[in-house]
Every structure is written in C-alpha cells, then in structure tokens.
Structure 1
Amino acid sequence: MTIIFLTVTALAVSACGGTSANQGGDSDGKLKVTSTIGMINDVVKQVGGDHVDAAALMGSGIDPHLYKASQGDVKKLDDADIIFYNGLHLEGKMAEMFEQLEKRKPTVAVSSYLKEEQLHADPAQGSGSHDPHIWFNVKLWMSATEVIRDTLAEKDPANAADYKQRAADYLKELEKLDAYAKEQISLIPEDKRILVTAHDAFGYFGEAYGLTVTGLQGMNTMSEYGSKDVSKLRDYLVENKIKAVFIESSVPKKSIESVIEGARQLGHEVKIGGELYSDAMGDEGSEEGTYIGMVKHNVDTIVSALK
C-alpha cells in the first residue's frame, strides 16, 4: 500500500500544472518555501525574514517517521518555489516524492553539508543508514542553517546579502544556545547523566553534551518494540538506579509507561521526568514552537529531573 501511495502521489505532483514555483515568488514577491518539519521551517523564517512565505507540512506532535503526505500537502509542495526536507530517511515515506520534485525545483536536504564522519550509523535500518535527528546537536544544526542560507541566496540573488546577514545573526544565537546546553548539562552529577526516552532520538544530543542515552524503540519509530525490549530497558533502569525517564511529544507515552510499571513491580520507583520535544516542536506561537525554545525546554527539563 505504501508503494502504491507514493507512486500515485508522485505522479500527482508531476502532473500538477502550478507555475508559480518557476516564477521566483508569489504575487507579493516573496519566495514560497515549504519545509517538512517545524525545525527546518523555523530556520527558514529566521534566515528568510520578510522575503519568504514559509510553511511546514508537519506541526506539533507529528511523527515524521510515520507521516504520509495528503493531497493538500501535494499542492503545497507543487506551489512552492523551494522545498526543504531533513533527509537521512527521516521522511522515509516521502522519498519518492522528493525525487520527482527535485527534477523541477530546488528540493534540498538540509543535512546535505554534513560529512559521513559527523553522522551516527543506524544499524537497525541497514548498511549506509544514519540517525536523522541532527537538530539535537546544535553545531550540526548550524550546518543546516548554512544550507538554507545558500539555497535562498541562490534562488533569490537580489536579497542574498540580507539572507547572509540574517543567517550570520542567527548562527551567533545558535552558538549561545550550544554553550547554554553544555553549561546546564554540566550541572547534573556525572553518574546521573543518563537520558532514557521513548525512542532513541537523542544520540547526537548525548554525544554533544555528555549524556548516556538509551531509548525503548530504535532511532526510527517505524521499528516496533516488544516485551523483550520492555524487559531489557526495565532491567537497565533497576540496575543503574535511574529515577527519571522522559516521554516525547510525538510518541505515545504508553510505551514508556509499561517500562515504569515493570520497574515498579521489581520494587524500583521511576518517575516521568517531563515531556521532551524530539521529532516535532511545540505549538506554533509558543516558545517551544521555535528551534531555540525547543532545545532550551529540553535542556531545562532534563536538568531539572536529573540534577
């Protein structure tokens, strides 16, 4: 069913007759930019400013691993001048669509500037697969910002200087964010720097900021977990005397609750340390609805629970 859906959708995109994407902007002169996830869309807004009309396909609480494009999404993508996606198989169900679109317009993976040695392997997905959650290392996300800057400048050279200046200003804010995360995580005693979540999305975060990270599911939520996975993580909590685990806004919390209950039956009490934003940001208009706000929320929540 997935293959049929992708094929039909890709053909629908190719058949759509929208011409605005080839005319360098909409009626008010702005570039129409469509991004898959909110984290990318936020950077587009920061770098593009008033020169872009930015929109994201996936809002708060949406899991991009499982997302299927609707017919409305097809129109948004076809009408766009530029499309940004994460890549590294994050939007796995949309891969064929991107292949069709990139024949007609800039369709760019924001992970494209990263080198092999900067990426984590995802052995569960086979040889050559990588962990797509690059936004959890702020330094890596700075590279995504540079991809967006350069793509906007190339498509709209008249405003290139402004894109470059806005990107430079935003990159300074990301430098501050990276320093904030390091400083705050260092407040957690070393033996308590263990982050347990519903799925293994925080590997880059752990590497960058000094935490041991483990999750019930793998890096991709399409991989199902079973009773053995629950038992293994339960035993890990008990053996390491871990007092707090975390739920995620885009993953049902029942998965982690089963682990907590299992530990309780063994006489070990574990609490939910809070809700983290993993594959989606918070509601639009909220502090957590921005990339910087999302990262700060996660850092503060983790530190509060583990310190």
Structure 2
Amino acid sequence: MKKRAFLRRILTACALLAVSTSTFAEKLNIGITLQPYYSYVKAVVGDKAEIIPLVDAGFNPHNYLPQPNDLKRLNQMDVIVVNGIGHDDFALKVIQAAQRDDLVVIEANKEVPLLPAMGQSVGKGAVNPHTFVGLSTTIQKVYTIASELSRLDPENAAFYRKNARKYAKAFRLLKRDAMLSLGQLDTAGMKVATTHNAYGYILQEFGVDVAAVIEPAHGVEPSASQLQETIEKIRQSGIDVLFYELNMPNRFVDTIEEATGVQLYRFSHMTHGEYETNKVEVEMRENVATLIEAMKFVASKHAQEKA
C-alpha cells in the first residue's frame, strides 16, 4: 500500500514536471506590424517569446498591399500587437481575412490620449496615428503591451512588467535630461511647420505647437499652388523651423528653404529600416537631440531679434 502511494506521488510529480517543462518550452509567438513595435515587444519579452514581423523590413506602410505570405505569417502567431489607429491598416485587412477567432489582437494605443490629425487630406475626426514618435505615448504603449501579454502568459508576467518599467524609466530619464538641458530657455514664441503629420506627440511634450503641415498626404508632394500657399503661410506666420522626415526625399523642402529662409531639421519617423531591438531608443534619442538643437536655435534667434 505504501509502495503504491509512493509510486502515485512519483508519477504525479513527474506529470507536473512534464507540464511545467512543456509550458516553459512553448513560447508565445507574438506578431508585430511596424518597426517600433518590434522594439517595444522585444524590450518586454526578452527571450521568453518569439517575435514575428507580419511584413518583411523595407516596406512602406502608407502604400503597402497585403501579400499571401502575410497570411502565412499571421497563421504562425498566437497574438499580434497593432497600432490600430492608422499606419498599419494593411495588417487589419490581413487579420480580417484570416478569420481566426483564436488570434489575440493587442491594440497598443487603447490607453493613449490621441491628438487630432492635421493636414489638408485628413478627414473629420481623424486622429494622429504616429504615437511611436513620442515619449509618454511610447511609455503608455509598452505598459499596455506588458499588461496584455501578462494575461496571456501569467508564468512570465512578473518578468514582462519588470522589463516594461525598466524600458519606461529610460524614456522618462531621456525627457528629464532634455528638460534640464533646456533650463530656463524661452521658447514660448516658437513656431514650427512639418512636412508630415508625425511629430505632434514629441513636440507637445516640450510645449511646441505645429502651426502648419505641408504635405497633402504622407509621401505625396504638394502641387505648385499648394507649395506657393505654404510658402506664403510660412512667411506670414513667422515660422521659425521646418521639421521633415529623415528617410524620405522631400525635394520641395529646398524650395521652401530658399523662398522663406526657414531653418530645417530632420526627425526620424521610426518606421523605416530593419527590425531592431534598440531602434526606438536610439532614434528617439536622436529626435530629442534634434528638437533641443532646434529649440535653442529659435531661442537664440528671438533673443537677437529683440536686441
């Protein structure tokens, strides 16, 4: 009797060990739609899950059309993290086509306060989908991702939440250091224009408003009449700085610079190039450094004008 009880305990222990080992070995397959989300998810999960980009690197999300391979990749995923408010509409079409009731979709922006979209081509009620070009928005999205993944994978929940806090801290420190470097700089009258409705989130964190968005749509150059209207608006509004996209050719920007004398600065859009672990952190630091440089330029310019 004692031997049978002992054997049962041994068999039970072996079964529990087998389940535990199986659970540990079966990693979540997490899909992502855009480069920033690769960085976010990798920061949260480390090596505890597999990350599968829906589309190969090098695509343009604004004009990408879903391909058969996208559906194949989607069928490998347990969960997919989406921007969900624009910029990855192609992914939502693939998800709809897959008709998978078991696929978990994490909407990273569901807790993010959204800005209205700006520009000549946006519809009524449209929101700015470029939350990945922002510090506080990035932090909120990473917390949302960690929270949702923790529900799906409770065994690693503490690990995910700890990593999310660590990632968030890096961005809070980045903003703090930027604010300290600005000191008592007076940029209250700073007026900026952008070539794309992408930078509102990072600009608002430093108290900078966008006075004009030039492109009628992303990647679409303005017509001659639209360009002339923009030049006149910049002249009349006293625009100090024009921000444009680092990885996109904007030939008309040179025309604007020559006609208005406005100072040019480039921001990374973060949705070009390879899927990289540190992409967001590296390019966010570069964007913040660019913004600080622009703000110091404007403060110096205004001080000279008052002298």
Q: What is the identity, as a one-letter code, of the residue corresponding to 1:278?
A: H
The secondary structure found in structure 1 opposite 2:103 is: coil
Per-residue CA deviations over 1:172-222 (Å, capped at 9, x if unaligned) read 22221232344446676416633333212112222221112232125x527
- Taking structure 1 as reference, are residues 212 and 122 closer, same or farther at Cα in structure 2, changes over 3 Å only? closer
Match of 2:123 among 117, 123, 126: 126
Q: What is the identity, as a one-letter code, of the residue corresponding to 2:64?
A: Y
8 Å contact kept, 2:83–2:129: yes
The secondary structure found in structure 1 opposite 2:264 is: strand
Structure number, greater radius of gyration: 2
Partner of 2:261: 269
Q: How does 1:166-177 map to 2 (within 5 A)?
A: 166-177=163-174
- Taking structure 1 as reference, are residues 304 and 110 closer, same or farther at Cα in structure 2, changes over 3 Å only? same
Partner of 1:302: 291
Partner of 2:18: none
Q: TM-score, normalization: structure 1?
A: 0.75
8 Å contact kept, 2:33–2:81: yes
Match of 1:56 among 53, 56, 60: 53
Q: How does 1:273-288 map to 2 (within 5 A)?
A: 273=265, 275-280=266-271
Q: How many aligned residue pairs are there?
A: 271
Distance 1:302 1:113 in 2: 26
Distance 2:221 2:91 in 1: 20
Q: How does 1:1-307 map to 2 (within 5 A)?
A: 29-57=26-54, 62-101=59-98, 103-114=101-112, 118-122=113-117, 124-184=121-181, 189-190=186-187, 193-213=190-210, 214-217=212-215, 221=218, 225-240=222-237, 242=239, 244-261=241-258, 263=259, 268-273=260-265, 275-280=266-271, 290-307=279-296
Give 5+ residue unaligned stretches, structure 1. Answer: 1-24
- Taking structure 1 as reference, are residues 239 and 184 closer, same or farther at Cα in structure 2, changes over 3 Å only? farther
Q: What is the identity, as a one-letter code, of the residue corresponding to 1:35?
A: I
Q: What is the identity, as a one-letter code, of the residue corresponding to 1:276?
A: F
Per-residue CA deviations over 1:127-183 (Å, capped at 9, x if unaligned) read 442111112332222221122102221221211121111112222222212323444
Per-residue CA deviations over 1:87-123 (Å, capped at 9, x if unaligned) read 1122233332233456331122211123xxx222237
- Taking structure 1 as reference, are residues 182 and 70 closer, same or farther at Cα in structure 2, changes over 3 Å only? farther
Q: TM-score, normalization: structure 2?
A: 0.75
Q: CA deviation at 1:223?
A: 6.6
- Percent identity over the alignment is 22
Distance 1:156 1:177 in 2: 30
Distance 2:142 2:295 in 1: 31
Distance 1:93 1:50 in 2: 28
The secondary structure found in structure 2 opposite 1:43 is: helix
- Taking structure 1 as reference, are residues 224 and 163 closer, same or farther at Cα in structure 2, changes over 3 Å only? same
Distance 1:145 1:56 in 2: 17
RMSD: 3.2
Distance 2:252 2:55 in 1: 22
**Which region of structure 1 is more displaced relative to structure 2, 235-244 or 158-167?**
235-244
- Taking structure 1 as reference, are residues 58 and 297 closer, same or farther at Cα in structure 2, changes over 3 Å only? farther
8 Å contact kept, 1:89–1:95: no
Give 5+ residue unaligned stretches, structure 2. Answer: 1-21, 297-307
Distance 2:279 2:201 in 1: 19
Q: CA deviation at 1:83?
A: 0.8
- Taking structure 1 as reference, are residues 186 and 54 closer, same or farther at Cα in structure 2, changes over 3 Å only? farther
Q: CA deviation at 1:60?
A: 7.0
Q: CA deviation at 1:246?
A: 3.2
Per-residue CA deviations over 1:7-54 (Å, capped at 9, x if unaligned) read xxxxxxxxxxxxxxxxxx999533222211111110101110110222
Distance 2:71 2:63 in 1: 17
